[in-house]
């Protein structure tokens, strides 16, 4: 298996809802990432997990809570989001987190907060 | 800190014409550089990457890029555009400033339009 999968593909949630995004890879990669991408903009890094430990949090608001249950799974728990959080959320993985390592991206979850 | 600048937010070419997408980087050390493509409503796909092994890098779908240190550039080219090349293209650099994280820093992107 050489791909990163993400579910759901689309998600609409209210500002009081709690939802989760799921990401899975079976390539044996030991680093996983969450990016946020607004329309017509480049992806912005949110979190990096390296060997299932959180290694980078790019000052992301606490209403976004990442979780890495094992080396193949990455979740992003969402609570009390704002309309401005509507975006494409991309998961990525790489063999390890290091310089010169490319990220393999999933197709993304299109999130709309109403 | 590393950064990349993509010149031209929108490039339009005719089918069969040369594709040239420009990327300039800023880095105090030799950088690692990447080109990604994003089709509508999809994730990003790696086209090619430069990691100092060779200055001319060949990628997928007939794309290539040349690293020019003297010009701090890493422009993406393809000899003959296909309609299927229409997409958003991102140049990225691997950040060396925050430990060994390999964080990617993206340019603002270039939309490639291919006209029949």
> What does the pLDDT look like over B39-77, one tens digit per residue?
988 899 999 999 877 899 999 999 999 999 999 999 999
CB atoms A98 and B96 under 8 Å: no
- Which residue, chain included where needed, has tokens 């946020």? A36
Please tell me if residue A97 touches chain B, with a CB cutoff of 8 Å: yes
Judge: A105–B32 Cβ closer than 8 Å, yes or no: no
For chain A, give the percent of residues with pLDDT over 70.
98
Q: How far, in Å, are A78, A87, A88, B101, B102 from residue B105 at the CA level?
A: 25, 18, 17, 12, 9
- pLDDT for residue B98 is more than 80: no
Q: What is the distance between the alpha carbons of residues A96 and A80, in angstroms, rounded to a whole number? A: 32
Instruction: Please indicate if any CB of chain B lies within 8 Å of the CB of A74.
Output: no
Nearest alpha-carbon partner for B84 in B39, B22, B21: B39
Which residues of chain B make contact with A104, given a CB cutoff of 8 A?
Answer: 46
pLDDT surpasses 80 at B97: no
> Residue A13 above 80 pLDDT?
yes
**Lookup: tokens for A65:** 């809570």
Q: Is B112 left (phi over 0), alpha (psi -120 to 50) or beta?
A: beta
CA distance B5 to B14: 24
CB A82 within 8 A of CB A15: yes
Mean pLDDT of chain A: 93
Mean pLDDT for the stretch of residues A12-26? 95
pLDDT of residue B94: 84
């Amino acid at each position: 298996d050489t791909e990163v999968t993400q579910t759901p593909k689309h998600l609409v949630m209210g500002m009081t809802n709690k939802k989760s995004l799921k990401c899975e890879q079976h390539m044996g990669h030991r680093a996983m990432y969450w990016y946020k991408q607004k329309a017509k903009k480049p992806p912005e890094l949110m979190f990096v997990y390296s060997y299932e430990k959180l290694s980078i949090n790019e000052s992301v608001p606490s209403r976004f809570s990442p979780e890495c249950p094992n080396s193949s799974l990455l979740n992003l728990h969402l609570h009390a989001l704002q309309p401005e959080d509507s975006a494409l959320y991309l998961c990525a993985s790489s063999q390890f987190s290091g310089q010169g390592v490319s990220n393999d991206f999933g197709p993304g979850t299109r999130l709309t907060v109403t | 800190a590393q950064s990349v600048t993509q010149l031209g937010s929108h490039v339009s070419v005719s089918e069969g014409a040369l594709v040239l997408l420009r990327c300039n980087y800023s880095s105090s050390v030799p950088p690692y550089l990447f080109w990604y493509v994003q089709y509508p409503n999809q994730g990003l796909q790696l086209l090619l990457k430069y990691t100092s092994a060779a200055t001319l890098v060949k990628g997928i779908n007939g794309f290539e890029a040349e690293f020019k240190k003297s010009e701090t550039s890493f422009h993406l080219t393809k000899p003959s555009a296909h309609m299927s090349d229409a997409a958003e293209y991102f140049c990225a650099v691997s950040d060396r400033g925050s430990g060994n994280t390999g964080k990617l820093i993206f340019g603002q992107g270039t939309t490639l339009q291919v006209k029949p």
